[in-house]
Structure 1
Amino acid sequence: SKLRDRGYIQGREVVQSGKPNKLIYTLTPEGRTALRHWAARPSTPPSIKDDLLVRLHALDSIDIEPVRTDLMDRLEHHRDRHENYERILKKRFPEGTASGVLDLGNLLLLRLGARHEQMVADFCEEALDALSAMSGKATVVPLDDGKREGKG
């Protein structure tokens, strides 16, 4: 890897039985310096590249049923990911607070992940509701309900 070639990380193999061995990486002093320099630079806002958004933009020119199916699949995917983030948050931060800087970073990342997944699930519900209203098919189960087909 580039990081290893530059001397920023070093890895050690952990032998496991019944599973493939894994590599554990640690930062070298040079890597820690490079990380500090990199982190001091402004971050670049992410761009969204999602072919589903192009399909939604072109709804007047395409068959809507595959888009509806895609939205339902995405909805379930993002609901599942949201539930996973919430499980991790409750397990690692039962009080909802961090005890130090490392914990704070992890708590903030987990909260962002949970909110992102919730927001995308909400968007999928909104899009499905709008498509259903347009075609008269009501098929969306609200996220709060917690009961999905085949999930409980």
Structure 2
Amino acid sequence: MALSHAILVSLLDGPQSGYDLGKRFDKTVGYFWKASSQQIYLELHKLAAADAVRAETVAQSERPNRIVYQITDHGRAMLATWVDKPTEPPSVKEELLVKLFALGDVDTNALLRELDRRRAYHIERLSDYEAVMHKYYPKPHSLSPRKLGRYLGLKMGIQSERNMVDWCDEALTLIQKT
């Protein structure tokens, strides 16, 4: 997936400035697709040049003018083409697993500390996801299609975080016994 697709999907909810898009991005697709504000603005300019988004300048009296972006019909067609293509499974680059391959030849306590740190990270993220689930998706069977898609993404995130906490627990237990 290109960043452009994530931006176009985000703009399906309505026109947004680059600043608003960046803030919202961090709380939605940013959980599984990282992008800096600079990258978002650069991609918005490319999308505007490709006629996938329309940029409108909104005058503000006490602040600099704001540029608000809206997806165009061409942008929607780009999304439709992208959605129709097969999706490859993500490639995993997990430094912690490489470190664990050295178990027995490196400081075991360092690995245990790293596993504890990683476990805490996943517990915090799981808590965040569960709070969002409770607040916004208490009745998944009555969701609109767009919200159902977000619910399913959130559900995958919750299951993934639970699995990671369980894996960390098992790894800590097994390593502590060595």
TM-score, normalization by structure 2: 0.65
Is the partner of 1:48 in helix, strand or coil? coil
1:57-104 CA deviation, whole Å, 9 max, x = no partner? 121221111111111111000001001111100111112434221111
In the alignment, which of 81, 89, 95 is matched to residue 37 of structure 1?
Answer: 81
Overall identity of the aligned pairs, in %: 32
Is the partner of 1:59 in helix, strand or coil? coil
Q: Quickly say closer, same or farther: Cα 1:30–1:72, change in 2 above 3 A.
A: same
Aligned residue runs from structure 1 range 128-139, under 5 A: 128-134=172-178
Gaps of 5+ in 2: 1-42, 60-64
Matched letter for residue 129 of structure 2: Y
Mean Cα deviation higher: 88-97 or 101-110:
88-97
| CA distance in structure 2 between the partners assigned to 1:22 and 1:81 by the alignment | 33
Matched letter for residue 141 of structure 2: T
Is the partner of 1:116 in helix, strand or coil? helix
2:133 aligns with: 89
1:109 aligns with: 153
Q: Quickly say closer, same or farther: Cα 1:94–1:37, change in 2 above 3 A.
A: same
Aligned residue runs from structure 1 range 2-151, under 5 A: 2-11=46-55, 25-134=69-178
Aligned length: 130
Is the partner of 2:91 in helix, strand or coil? coil
| CA distance in structure 1 between the partners assigned to 2:67 and 2:153 by the alignment | 24
| CA distance in structure 1 between the partners assigned to 2:114 and 2:104 by the alignment | 17
Q: Quickly say closer, same or farther: Cα 1:24–1:65, change in 2 above 3 A.
A: farther
Q: Quickly say closer, same or farther: Cα 1:6–1:131, change in 2 above 3 A.
A: same
- 1:98–1:107 CA contact under 8 A, matched in 2: no
Gaps of 5+ in 1: 16-20, 135-152
Q: Quickly say closer, same or farther: Cα 1:100–1:58, change in 2 above 3 A.
A: same
TM-score, normalization by structure 1: 0.75
CA RMSD of superposed structures (Å): 2.4
State the 1:14 CA deviation: 8.4
